[in-house]
Amino acid sequence: MTRSEPEPAGPAPRRRPSSVRPSDDALLDGVLTVFAARGFDDVTMDELALAADTSKPTLYAHFGTKDQLLEACLRREADGLLRWMRESYRRARGFDLDRHVATTTRALFDFAATRAEGFHVLFGAPTAGRSHEVRAAVLSAVADTVADLIRNEYGSADLSWGASADFCASVIADIGVRGVQQAIAQQLDFTAAANLTVSIIVAAMRHLDPAAVRAVDAVAKASGVSDAAENAGEPIDYPAMIGVHTHAATDESRSVPRNDVLDTAIRIFRSGERLELPVVAAELGISRTTLYRRFGTRDELLGAALALQFERVVTSIDRRCTSRGAHRISEIFDLVLRQLAADPALRTYLQNESPAALRLLTQADGPVHRGSVALVERLLHRAQEQDGYRPPIERESLAFALVALGEAFLYNDAVADIRGDIEHLLQVQTSLLGVAGPVGGR
């Protein structure tokens, strides 16, 4: 495991053909190199556009201002680091705290070796805007899980961890990041530096003074510090966390049914507020760690909530329809699309968080798209079984095509307030279904 040095700058890349629409990741790859090398203040949007092999208007259209572009870079790298570490935790499942500490620390070193520029932007480069919040959230994500492991693995009859577990976990997370930073600064061998960092942390944990632990907890308890209060009060805008199941579910996690969590998320979303894990956790009276363990990141929770809400919309409309067979499916599509296109909460989400919202709603392996395709496939199957409908193509492919067509309308035309196209859309959907005539028999 050795740190990979950035490639030396070569000739300016040839401009991407204007007909090729760049992906967000491709654009971020380009600007990441500049932010990592020069920080934030000393670069212009023109220079960032050149590095991304695109135009300045395209960067503005995809991400917004320079601050928002930097935040997009930070969030992407933070997501990557947290996924990297979550996989490391999965591999260490069932082992003791020493093994998990080693896993956490080596995952940081591995990420820095593989994505040197990403680590530098997260923890090294001089940046601006909300970058400190993203950094704080990444460290909080690591510390939350380590604190939970400390309570489970180091707890005993004479030592019950409270706020001291959070304190120790924060120190461990900070030592891990500092170790990587020093390995980079001193150009050390990453494997040797990682092993030494692990050795320092494990030795410190094995020689903790129980009296010091109890003293911290006693003061914290006297001050009224609690996990719920800390979680509810944090102003972090990026509350992604890492968690791993090493023990059976706690009473806390069993006490809140899955649909209660999703209903809370749906209610917050429909109010027009930005959904955040600390807010959901505080309303339900559970910790962020528990919420993450059950649902994952903020986007994963939001995706599950939206999938459930869309299913409820389809089910409600289906109950009101009177037509049969493919005409019923077409009628359902008509009413669902009109309702969703007029939904103020969905419109606000798309306007405030595009293009991240578009990815969440339309990604092929995401819960919203998968759930929508599954819903339509069930409608097609029912039409076959009960009404004798014969799809013109394989049922799963037809369901995918109908959903993709609906997405193209909803998340482009409808959000841009373009009206009238829905009639053409329904004509195409009716043709895909292999039937003719007015929608719903009208």
Residue-level pLDDT at 180:
92
Q: Is the pLDDT of residue 284 over 80?
A: yes
Residue-level pLDDT at 173:
86
Q: How many Å apart are CA 71 and CA 134, to the nearest integer? A: 8
Given a contact cutoff of 8 angstroms between Cβ atoms, the answer to whether 62 and 30 are in contact is no
How sure is the predictor about 241, in pLDDT bands with cuts at 50, 70 and 90? Answer: very low
Mean per-residue pLDDT of the chain: 77
Residue-level pLDDT at 223:
58
Question: Which domains, ranges and CATH numbers included, belong to the chain?
Answer: 71-227 (1.10.357), 306-441 (1.10.357)
Nearest to 297 by CA among 100, 84, 76, 82: 82
Q: How many Å apart are CA 13 and CA 53, to the nearest integer? A: 7
Q: What angle do CA 301, 346, 344 make, to 5 degrees?
A: 140
Residue-level pLDDT at 392:
84
The better pLDDT of the pair 252, 205 is held by: 205
The better pLDDT of the pair 4, 63 is held by: 63
Which stretch of 145-149, 268-272, 352-356, 417-421 has the lowest confidence by average pLDDT?
Answer: 417-421
Q: How many Å apart are CA 202 and CA 198, to the nearest integer? A: 6
| DSSP H stretches of helix in 207-324 | 210-222, 227-233, 251-255, 258-270, 277-284, 288-295, 298-320
Residue-level pLDDT at 93:
67
Which stretch of 359-363, 411-415, 427-431 has the lowest confidence by average pLDDT?
Answer: 411-415
Given a contact cutoff of 8 angstroms between Cβ atoms, the answer to whether 119 and 111 are in contact is yes
The better pLDDT of the pair 39, 254 is held by: 39
Torsional sign, CA 376, 380, 382, 383: positive
Helix, strand, coil fractions of the chain, as percent rounded to 5:
70, 0, 30
pLDDT, tens only, 7-64: 444 444 444 444 456 678 888 999 999 988 888 888 899 999 999 998 888 888 888 8
Q: Is the pLDDT of residue 248 over 50?
A: no
Q: Is the pLDDT of residue 220 over 80?
A: no
Residue-level pLDDT at 211:
86
Q: Is the pLDDT of residue 413 over 80?
A: no
pLDDT, tens only, 304-363: 999 999 999 998 998 888 888 888 888 888 888 888 888 899 888 888 887 788 888 888
Q: Is the pLDDT of residue 75 over 90?
A: no
Residue-level pLDDT at 440:
42
Which stretch of 117-131, 243-257, 274-288 has the lowest confidence by average pLDDT?
Answer: 243-257
The better pLDDT of the pair 204, 228 is held by: 204
Residue-level pLDDT at 264:
92
Distance, first Cα to last Cα, the chain: 67
Q: Is the pLDDT of residue 396 over 90?
A: no
The better pLDDT of the pair 413, 42 is held by: 42
Residue-level pLDDT at 94:
67
Which stretch of 201-205, 208-212, 224-228 has the lowest confidence by average pLDDT?
Answer: 224-228
Q: At what angle do helices 277-284 and 298-320 cross, to 10 degrees?
A: 70
pTM of the model as a whole = 0.49
Given a contact cutoff of 8 angstroms between Cβ atoms, the answer to whether 268 and 280 are in contact is yes
Whether cis (ω within 30° of 0) applies to the bond prior to 355 is yes
Q: Which residues of 405-439 are buried (b: 16+ CB within 10 A; e: fewer)?
A: bbbebbbebbbeeeeeebeebbeebbebbebeeeb
With pLDDT > 70 as the criterion, what percentage of the chain qualifies? 75
Q: Which residues contact 5 (CB under 8 A, 6 or more apart)?
A: 116
Q: Is the pLDDT of residue 379 over 70?
A: yes
Torsional sign, CA 145, 148, 150, 153: negative
How sure is the predictor about 222, in pLDDT bands with cuts at 50, 70 and 90? Answer: low
Torsional sign, CA 154, 156, 158, 160: positive
Q: Is the pLDDT of residue 417 over 80?
A: no
Given a contact cutoff of 8 angstroms between Cβ atoms, the answer to whether 356 and 293 are in contact is no
**Tell me, what DSSP letter sits at residue 22?**
P
Q: Which residues contact 210 (CB under 8 A, 6 or more apart)?
A: 158, 159
Which stretch of 5-19, 47-61, 92-106, 133-147 has the lowest confidence by average pLDDT?
Answer: 5-19
Structure tokens at 247: 């023990």
Q: What is the mean pLDDT of residues 230-247?
A: 33
